Amino acid sequence: MGAPVAIVMGSQSDWPTMQCAADVLDALGVSSDARIVSAHRTPDRLHQFGTGAAGEGFRVIIAGAGGAAHLPGMIAALTHLPVLGVPVRSRALSGMDSLLSIVQMPAGVPVGTLAIGEAGATNAGLMAASILALADDALAARLTDWRAAQTARVAERPED
């Protein structure tokens, strides 16, 4: 069976951010397939990916882009799969442009928008795992363990 999660991004330059989603999914034992799909530079690839994603076996799509970040919304327009949008931090406007481009979807075409940058990518991975865990008890247990380990790493007091 192929990877249940697609991680798509507008550019190679988005990968250091989007890799956070792949890393947390990997830690949870969920395989993902990362691809570069640009809404503006590769529109045909975008259409092919969006219309074919469900048929490829993907269950959740994580889409990250920066600047005029139309990728998550356009993918959501082409598939019924859940789309999680990650606003990548941009050079000019620090990702505020990305955030507003992704979050302000018209009613009827949802994108679940996460935080700007690496935190958003990590949380997109966790959210994708949570969605898959609804139908996968073993994954739900791994997710619970991951959260418990995170809690255990928080010290009671700060160190000098």
Note whether 88 binds ligand RP5 by CB under 6 A. yes
- The C-alpha torsion from 63 through 69 and 73 to 74, rounded to 10°, is -90
Note whether 11 binds ligand RP5 by CB under 6 A. yes
Size of residue set near ligand RP5 by CB under 6 A:
9
Q: Taken in order 46, 50, 55, 58, is the CA torsion positive or negative?
A: positive
Note whether 67 binds ligand RP5 by CB under 6 A. yes
Q: Which of 4, 50, 66, 112 binds ligand RP5 (CB under 6 A)?
A: 66
Contact stretch for ligand RP5 (CB under 6 A) within 11-19, 79-87, 110-118, 143-151? 11-19
Nearest to 1 by CA among 22, 45, 31: 31
Q: Cα-flanking dihedrals φ and ψ of residue 54, to 5°?
A: -65, -40
Contact stretch for ligand RP5 (CB under 6 A) within 8-16, 20-28, 111-119, 122-130? 8-16
Note whether 38 binds ligand RP5 by CB under 6 A. yes
Q: Taken in order 29, 120, 7, 82, is the CA torsion positive or negative?
A: positive
